[in-house]
Amino acid sequence: MQNKGFDFIGKRKVFFILAVCVLVLGFVANLILGTRMDIQFTGGTIVKYSYTGEVDKAQLEDIFAKYTDGKESYSFATNNLTSGEDTNPNIVSVTLPVDALLSTEDLSAMLTDLQAKLPGAKFHQVESSTVEATMGREFFGKCMVAIVLASVLMLVYVAIRFRRIGGWSAGLVALLALIQDVLVAYFVFVIFRIELDDNFVAVVLSILGYSLNDTIVIYDRIRENRRLAPRASLSDVVNLSVNQSLRRTLNTSITTFVAVSCITVVALVYGLDSLLSFSVPMMFGILSGFYTTTFLAAPMWAWLKEKLNARAVAKAEAAAEAKKAKKAAKKKGKK
């Protein structure tokens, strides 16, 4: 079996080291920066006000602190609201932790204060939502269960579908590659200071399905080439299969990346934070998915199969030697 393409097997140590370096940098960033959790998971209140023109942020801080004891955090965004009676183009979001929840009367008083002290800004409350801490933790737990369940089902699916080439080992390696992609997406949330919310779950599940699909394509080629050349070495089969699938995987990754990039640009222009918290991690997830699918999954599987085969051969040889020694001892005893 001839393969004039790139030697993925020969460079697998380099690819593995690069993947480990990315994980180490991500964990260091997580230790330094920490994780920001949305109130969907931690509980709390978020209130959004629309306004026009420019506002004095220091004056806003004074008004908010009067009602929240300075425990609030807030952000500004251009939102281009045009629905209903609200045509104010800007949004300020106020997020309150569980220990600083405001009553309906407090929220009404805060809006009145904003309108009275900043009349030219035409403040208007457009959204208010409150999540209890217990509900937030329960929702977070259910999201994690959904991710774990999806991962397990993918492992079982790959193991059954590719049982002729060592299904469980193929499924395990595919799962490890998917974990790498998920961690990369998580690190993007950490580094870009994006709060973990339900978009994180959407990103993770999207990456799992996207990356697994590309891995399955390569496994299909390996299975087919293994059938066509049963005497070829595993390294040659894997190299050929990855090279044959490379153009398809690259084209799929590029088109998907461009589409998600367009979403990111639109979200940046219109200040759509909810879209950004999905599209930005998804962009990096696509890049990671291409890397793990092409440079990690199949080469790692080939390495694992070689180790398992070598162990099986050594075990068989040891058993044969033990049987031979037992027969020799028995024969000697008869003499």
Residue type, 150: A
Considering the domain architecture, whether residues 144 and 20 belong to the same structural domain is answered as yes
Distance CA 249, CA 174 (A): 15
Per-residue pLDDT of the chain (335 residues; tens, 9 = 90+): 665 678 898 889 999 999 999 999 999 999 999 988 887 787 777 888 888 888 887 888 888 888 777 655 555 544 444 444 445 568 887 877 766 667 778 888 888 998 898 888 888 888 887 777 777 778 888 888 888 888 888 888 888 888 887 778 888 898 999 999 999 999 999 999 898 888 998 999 899 888 888 889 999 999 899 888 888 888 888 999 999 999 999 999 999 999 999 999 998 888 777 889 999 999 999 999 999 999 999 899 988 888 887 787 788 777 778 778 777 777 666 65
Considering the domain architecture, whether residues 192 and 70 belong to the same structural domain is answered as no
Assign residue 169 the CATH number of its domain.
1.20.1640.10
Handedness of CA 3, 300, 147, 42 (dihedral sign): negative
Work out how many domains the chain is built from and give that number. Answer: 2
334 belongs to a structural domain: no
Considering the domain architecture, whether residues 164 and 218 belong to the same structural domain is answered as yes
Distance CA 11, CA 79 (A): 48
Please give the helix or strand (H or E) that residue 272 lies within, else none.
none
271 sits in the region (left: phi over 0; alpha: psi -120 to 50; else beta) called left
pLDDT digits (tens, 9 = 90+) for 204-243: 989 988 888 888 999 999 989 988 888 888 888 899 999 9
Considering the domain architecture, whether residues 87 and 212 belong to the same structural domain is answered as no
Considering the domain architecture, whether residues 27 and 159 belong to the same structural domain is answered as yes
Neighbouring C-alpha atoms within 13 Å toward the C-beta of 277: 17
Task: State the residue range of the domain holding 228.
Answer: 12-37+135-313
pLDDT digits (tens, 9 = 90+) for 175-209: 999 999 999 999 999 999 898 888 998 999 899 88
207 belongs to a structural domain: yes
CB 73 within 8 A of CB 93: no
Domain's final residue, options 74, 108, 131: 131
109 belongs to a structural domain: yes
Considering the domain architecture, whether residues 250 and 181 belong to the same structural domain is answered as yes
Assign residue 119 the CATH number of its domain.
3.30.70
5 belongs to a structural domain: no
- The answer to pTM > 0.85 is no
Considering the domain architecture, whether residues 177 and 55 belong to the same structural domain is answered as no
Distance CA 303, CA 103 (A): 60
